Structure 1
């Protein structure tokens, strides 16, 4: 059952957008060095190695990992396989700001998926909150100047990101379904590991298709190694842990509004790398996004 939005829950739901913003930037950074599907496979293979020692309870025969394979296979497909692969694929032709902007439609997709497939009613307060939050994202994109929006052009990567956002909506709603056995639900590492095991398999399938269609070699460097360690530990293990806990507390719809912090964080990080100071529109965008979160979750 959903609980009121508390400071601890808000913190849990803020950490993933921060890490995912970094994920978009480094994913763009190594787009020419590592193919997108291969990058996703390497990321989750490393995450699997990180989770195995702390989620070893999952390896017991009574845990339900294999008995409930349909649930964890779908969670792994939507959350680990499709979402992340499509995001890295999107970064091949789109920028981190564009990718995170397209993902800002998450509240809308979350409401639609919840209403159509999980019989969740859509309330007026949620719609108003979504508009406020998306308004903040648009403000970041325009850099406070609406002429910037007129010059914006969508690319194939933006379509891939829309598909990724829909997949993530299904993943988030499935997290709310109380179908996990106590041995898995009580242990966050085991619960995440169950998803990653199947997700890594899906990622392997997608990577094998990539290798057969457009074979490319990895251009290894210390930058690539550092990126792999970051995306495995941060956007994968830590972000998924925080997102799962936050969504189970507040619900997918409220969690979706927090994802709109990702473009703001991405813009600030990009500015930091370019040596530019934050501007007033960043503060205004932050106010709109947080206002949308607060209004919709009341």
Structure 2
């Protein structure tokens, strides 16, 4: 895969995930975490299989033969991360969740270095630190002392568990490089639905949903669940989890941009922070051996 396509995929993946934070707000009030997780992946599965068949024409028997690792991927990235994220947002603020999430790229880089001996170059470390500083500027609007003043709670521990789960999911992604990314994502989603369906059926979901919640869950089911997962899984197979992980900081920048488009103010300091994030992403993505 050409390098520019990989970076475009990573940018789009995080743009769609940013929309998850913005448009998912209307869903949280009407659906529980387990209901949100099940609903989004039920929608996604209906789209993933036709796309996989049309684009990849996979050998489905070969894909299903890897069900053991795909179940692990399903538990971690498809079901586990999403449930922990939505559950965390019941107890903590989006600000706290975003601050904890800012640790994710560093965690992926360290995990890749320890488990897969991916080279941790000076340039990559500098890019990671620059990007992290930019994220903190965006989140705190330049008032970095807020990080120490923020009260952390059980929701933040759940968010920490969520990023650990996502780190493991991302690192394991390279173990299935021989499988087509769309087909493997589709099978993982089906396995996740089978695992969480008893909990969903016992949750007592109330219908119909409001127009806003319906639009929100359709967006989450199509763009973050289908688009982001396909783009993310395809990318980490090509460049590794540590180089792809730094792009997760773009979620914060894209969330701020989407908020601006929806009429919420964005400060000059946040714009500067966004530029630092892009600078850090650029440094980390460069093929250097320094």
Which TM-score band applies after superposition, normalised by the shorter structure?
A: 0.7 to 0.9
Q: Does 1:39 align with 2:39?
A: no
* Separation in structure 1 between the aligned mates of residue 285 and residue 34 of structure 2, nearest angstrom: 36
1:30 corresponds to 2:23 = no
Relative to structure 1, the CA distance from residue 218 to residue 39 in structure 2 (aligned partners, 3 Å threshold; closer, same or farther) is farther
Q: Which residue of 2 aligns with 1:172?
A: 170
Give 1:138's aligned residue. Answer: 136
SS in 2 for 1:276: coil
Q: Residue 124 of structure 1 aligns with which residue?
A: 122
1:108 and 1:205 mapped to 2: Cα distance?
A: 35
Deviation at 1:116, TM superposition (A): 3.6
Matched with 1:15 is: 12
TM-score normalised to the size of structure 1?
0.84
Q: Deviations 1:8-61 (Å, cap 9, x if unpaired)? A: 322211112211112123333322210011110011011111123233489988
> Secondary structure at 2:151's aligned position in 1?
coil
Closer, same or farther in 2 for the Cα pair 1:112/1:147, shift >3 Å? Answer: closer
Question: Residues 97 and 221 (structure 1 numbering): CA distance in 2 closer, same or farther, change over 3 Å?
Answer: same
Aligned residues of 1:96 and 1:266 also touching (Cα < 8 A): no
Assess, with a 3 A threshold, how the Cα gap between structure 1 residues 127 and 61 changes in structure 2: closer, same or farther.
closer
1:291 match: 279
Equivalence for 2:259: 270
Secondary structure, aligned partner of 1:34: coil
Task: Measure, in 1, the Cα distance between the counterparts of 2:284 and 2:72.
Answer: 28
Q: Compared with structure 1, are the counterparts of its residues 199 and 160 closer, same or farther at alpha carbon in structure 2 (3 Å cutoff)?
A: same
Indicate the larger mover: 22-31 or 40-49.
22-31
Cα distance in 2 between the residues matched to 1:173 and 1:17 = 17
Match of 1:281 among 252, 256, 269: 269
Change beyond 3 A, Cα 1:91–1:108: same
Q: Which runs of 5+ in 2 are unaligned?
A: none
Of residues 246-255 and 145-154 in structure 1, the stretch that sits farther from structure 2 once superposed is 145-154
Q: SS of 1:92's equivalent?
A: coil
Partner of residue 194, structure 1: 187
**Any unmatched runs of 5+ in structure 1?**
none
CA contact (8 A) 2:109 2:243 kept: no
Q: Does the Cα contact within 8 Å between 1:101 and 1:263 map onto a contact in 2?
A: no
Distance 2:122 2:268 in 1: 30
Stretch deviating more after TM superposition (50-59 or 113-122): 50-59
User: What's the RMSD between the two structures over aligned residues?
Assistant: 2.7
Q: Secondary structure at the match of 1:260?
A: helix
